[in-house]
Amino acid sequence: MRTSKVTAGMALLSTAVILAACGTNPAPSHGGNTTTGASGTKHTTGGNANKAALGGGIKKTAGSNNPGGTTATAKNGSNTSNASTTKAAGTPIALTTLPAITAVEPFNPAYKSYHAVSSFVNEMGFHWMTQAPGIVYMTNNHNQITGVEATFPQNHGNYPWYDPATPPSILNASLAFYSEHLYFVPPTSITPGMSAATTSDLTSWTSFVTVNTRLQAYVKEPSTYKGYTIYGPPHGLGIKVLVSPAGLVSGFMVGEPAAWGWSPVYAEPQGQPVVSRNFGKAYLSVFMVEPATASSASAAGTASNTSSNNISSNTTTKGGSTTGTKGGGTTRTKGGNKS
């Protein structure tokens, strides 16, 4: 009971922080609504653009990555989908244009736990999150994902990859958190009337950094996560970016303090948090736009122990060797199946 109360409390705080960082409110009116984008400039959008709200519905039309254009309607602020619009769990999708949320549903077991928490914010989109702290995703009016966001406790430091302060009244999510947004297209192109054919920056790490210039400080980590290369902060907290063997930006990952409680949306079972350099122990929030396991990571008899600046996660496969990477790149190989 105590754990669930802590998680619920942190979820409410996290929602407030997300909305504060974006300069918007959770309940838009059906007429015009004033929202604030990443630059801190106020924007007014018409009633048709303001479809996302807590307890509201969103008519979501699949974008170019969801052939057929089947429409899915979200009720009571939660995600629903038509099975005919989704891909098999191990089938990659094209990322040349923005991915449709229905197309990435098979890669994200917690998909149906996400709900809308904001009106449309120019330079961002609609914000969707679960009832636990972790990765937030954003969508446009074509039901395509425009970016992701996460927040981090201020007492762990402020870093150059975090969002700049949003003037005049919101000091970078001042409710004891800093925020970090990562965009799949240039933020200025995210508007209510943006094209569904807008080219994404997910096609390579280089393209992604070109749009998200603060990631120039990120480093390639010595280990992997389920076959994906990890790019993350050289120190401190931040959203980790997963890149596929083909070079596509394929997923995003953050660690949340285990002391805040467990949620079914996390990647680990209850009571089995990973080691965290910053939090001691943490649960992972992971959001994928490609299959949960990289296609080239299926070689039998391998196992990887991913240890990074902030989080560690173990992946093991029976019948093979185990490699562990800890403390800055030292590799230890043991026989058997345990890591």
pLDDT value of residue 177: 85
**Residue 69: left if φ>0, alpha if ψ -120 to 50, beta else—which one?**
left
- Give the pTM: 0.69
Q: How far apart are CA 192 and CA 81, in angstroms?
A: 22
262-308 confidence digits (pLDDT tens) = 999 999 999 999 999 889 999 999 999 999 898 754 332 233 334 33
Question: Token digits for 188?
Answer: 């200025």
DSSP 88-115: PTT-----SBPPBHHHHGGG-TTGGG-E
- pLDDT by 10s per residue, the chain, length 339: 344 444 444 555 555 555 555 655 443 332 333 344 444 333 323 332 332 222 223 333 333 333 333 333 333 344 443 333 345 666 888 899 999 999 999 999 888 899 999 999 999 999 999 989 999 999 999 999 999 999 998 888 889 999 987 554 445 545 578 899 999 999 999 999 999 999 999 999 999 999 999 999 999 999 999 999 999 999 999 999 999 999 999 999 999 999 999 999 999 999 999 999 889 999 999 999 999 898 754 332 233 334 334 454 433 333 333 333 333 333 333 332 222
Opening angle at CA 279, ends 308 and 306, nearest 5: 20
Helix (H, G, I), strand (E, B) or coil at 149: strand
Domain parsing of the chain, residue ranges? 2-42+52-334
